[in-house]
Structure 1
Amino acid sequence: MKWSKNSGLVSIAALALSFSAMSAAAEPVTIRVSYSPASLKTLYETVAERFMDMYPEIEIELEAPATSYDELVQQTIMQSIVGQMPDISHQGLNQIRTLADRGLAVPLNDLFNNDPKWDEIGVPEGTMSYAAFGGETYGLPFAISVPVLYYNVDLIREVGGDPENLPTTWDDVFNLSRKIDAISPTVSGHYLEYTNNSWSFQTFLASFGGRMMSPDESQIEFNGNAGLRTLELLQNSVGHGQPALERDQARQAFGAGTLGILYTASSSLAGFERTASGKFEVKVGQFPVSSAAVSLPAAGNGIVMLTREPRKQEAAWQYMRFAIGEIGQQIMVETTGYTPVNVRALANPDGLGGFYNENPNYAVATESIESMTGWYSFPGENNSRIIRIIENYTHDVVSGTREPASALADMTEEVAKLLPE
């Protein structure tokens, strides 16, 4: 079989023949899959088990989970150096470009363009663009997170708020937060997450109409008015009921019922509902934006093919199609708070359609799907370093050691040095 120099894929016909021969001989193929974080272990185990039930000739071997998307991409790069890469990896949407630029991720256009049943899969073209760079698609979006606000309904009612009319602006959020913060010294008003692989910074930036770089990526654009408003909002947040906590501490406080409002990803919903069960009611609200035309970045992960072996590529494609198909997406939603990428699954009244009708908190995130955009990844090999720089300066502003304007200027200068010339 001949390899395609451009794609790293054998022809679809050759793959089909290879897979047919493999099935006829009943020789199992083992596919190694990596993912992050450990809290999603049940999700990936369940997807793997259901897949192997349907495809007994393919065995899925899950690697030990990485602690974060950033660690996962660095781990994958190291594995490539020693020839130990997994066959498939569920990479953060903002890290897939790093693998593509290094020539590690296999482009998928030939696969889905020649798949006779691809049009029936149910993933919109706009969603597919989340993992597309330079005209090639390098990953299939699997699970996305939408920015949302979580509310402790009991605390809202205690201060005379109306859970049926949640805040729609940051001024309204802060006004409600101050009332909750005044309940007692052990209760805090709100917490806006600002460290999340720079997703939070990108989300606030986009909500004010900004973007990270120009469309042709020739210049930085996060240093404009939207970037300044982002840092000013985070600075002001501290004076309106935000406690001096780290991200995980704030999540624990919300789960314990001592934090009134929390901005984070929709994927945390299942965990918060489990933690709050029997103690207080959780309600999900929309993330405030400056305009209805705003597109916010979707967090989450996409499935990347790394193997270059023909037989494994066909088996990997079967797994990838299953994971983003109706069964895989239903497992994903019911196991986590992630938002599905499959619109056919959403429309199925006997599947996710019925689930969302019965679980309105989960449905809030789906209302934003059409307006979402990709989680930006910087060009070149320094994406992870740039993410850390942005988070460090954001932390300085929130902690009060830097003013927004000077932090933004210095952050811009440091990021510029790490971009390709």
Structure 2
Amino acid sequence: MATTLHLNPPFRADHIGSLKRPAELLEKRQAFEKKECSAEQLRELEDAAIQEIVKMQRDVGIKSITDGEFRRHMFFDGVFDNMDGMTYIPVVPMDWFMDYVPDLAAFKQWDFKGAASYICEGKLERTRPFYVPQFEALKKFTTPEEHPHLKITMCAPEWFHLRHGPYAYKKEVYANDDEYFADIAIAYQQEIKALYDAGCRNIQFDDPLLAYFCAESMITGMVERGIDHEALLDTYIRAYNNCLKGRPADMNVGLHLCRGNFKNGMHFSEGGYDRIAIKLFNQINVDCYYLEYDTERAGTFEPLKHLPKNKSVVLGLVTSKFAPLEDKAELKSRVLQAAELISQGVEKRPFVEALNQICISPQCGFASHAEGNAVSAEVVRSKLSLVVETSKEIWGDH
């Protein structure tokens, strides 16, 4: 069943990006936040931890190496906290959080009294890099041969817009959504060019928000508020495509959708990709899709029938939330099921061609927030090893 890999990257065995942070790094970050250590002392420990996690990825056979997001507190850090025009607000009023957004609805049920966030209060502009320093630092701990495969994960461009709805930006700054996203797109274009110039060829947008459009709870909540959810999804698709305008042809761009990966394995939304599949696969100008498929809440493989021939899908079949290892035979069976469905999809193709469009990974990262999931470093290694072993048995070594 071995076939030739025609996409480089992603690789047959991939992972989402974030990895389990060691306890000493979490302690040092807490000390830094309390001003009990210097930025340099924190950076030294980050460097040591990243070197170890790079070695682990290399040892198990993961080629799309990341820094585990060890320099971030949350997976979405990097863009809006570095962009001129965004204002950090320590306690955002409750009504500025849209309760039709699934994770915000969950937080409000926990007596959520408001939290820190970013609101656009001025013209948005990239005056300093978002992720280039993280990429440059990762290069120092990897070989020149590995540099083209290093992966940088990025915040979704609509992150704060969906969360804050009409409060996302001041109307005296931007008259409408298209104006707001036009400047965001320029910032992303500049960042992507800078990453490319630094040698980055593999980026991944982390976007649970698009998966929220699969959730009946959000659709119902938007309808009740008089929001045209189809038009809003179209706005976000335009934003993505504008962000990627002019990007180099040899830079792989992935899009990761999940349904929440909070503490103790908590998720925020349910619903298959059926509702958005046609637009997701055919209108967003990315190369590959990282899709959660570790539980029934993600629905069936049926939406994959809309996958075009020039794109790939990374099936998140292995959970990052809990310790028990998946059954390898079951993983292989599910990959073959997906390939059969793709081959008989809207654009019919030979089974082996469909199989060549598939990769496998965990369904999400192991630490969307700094504390991470309730799994050990040993479990992380075992899960990634399982992904690699399964991919080799399906596609052969690569």
TM-score, L = length of structure 2: 0.26
More helix by share: 1
Which gives a bigger RCO, structure 1 or 2 (Cα 8 Å, sep 6+)?
1
Rg larger for: 1
